[in-house]
Amino acid sequence: QVGFGGGNHDRSAPVEVAADNLEVDQSTGRATLTGNVVIAQDDLRLSAARVVVDYAVVNGDRRIDRVNATGDVLIVAGEDAAEGQSAVYVLGTSEILLTGDVVVSQAGSTLAGDRLAVNLQSGAGTVTGRVRTTLQP
């Protein structure tokens, strides 16, 4: 169990996205961002090599349901940071699941594991799978 990001993330805050390229498959509408993709919302910053956006159609209009990031994913929230191979960020629930040799660095200590599950709303984070911790002296 580890605190991550200090909590009370505002999930209705605007999401700014920057990337080198955006490709849209015109028949499915699926959007793929590639090339140093950075997604910023409130105090969350998620950067990755590639991000695929999944939509949900709710009462007629299309809204972003979740964001799938792959390729040296870095998540920064507040003073905490975590790296991993891939991450899924579900906007509605402000939950991020980071997987693939995860390293969490917080205030001088780092924690390594297979997965990090974070709820930005409550600020809770749990690292699971071969958890190793190292303390910087």
Partner 1 sequence: MVADRHHTRLIKGARILLPVGALILLSTLFLLARTVNPDDAIPFADVDVSLRAKDQQLTSPRFSGVSRNGTEFALTAQVAKPDPKDARKMTAQEIQLTLVGREVSDARVAANTGLIDTATRTVTLTGEVEVETSTGFSLTTPHLQGSLSTLSVTAREGVTGTGPLGRLNAREMHLSEDSEGRQRLLFTGGVDLLYVPPVE
Name the site residues for partner 1 (rule: CB under 8 A).
11-27, 29, 31, 33, 53, 55, 58, 61-64, 91
Which of 49/64 has CB closer to partner 1? Answer: 64
What sign for the dihedral angle of Cα 31, 37, 41, 46? Answer: positive
CB of residue 28 to partner 1, shortest distance in Å: 8
Q: Which residues contact 60 (CB under 8 A, 6 or more apart)?
A: none
Q: Residues 90, 100, 131, 3: is their CA dihedral positive or negative?
A: negative
User: In the structure encoding, which two tokens stand for residue 11, read together?
Assistant: 């999930």
Q: What is residue 115's three-state secondary structure?
A: strand
Work out how close the CB of 83 gets to partner 1 at its nearest, in angstroms, rounded to a whole number.
24
In the complex, least distance from residue 57 CB atom to partner 1, rounded to whole angstroms? 10
Q: Which is nearer to partner 1, 3 or 55 (CB)?
A: 55
Q: Which is nearer to partner 1, 8 or 128 (CB)?
A: 8
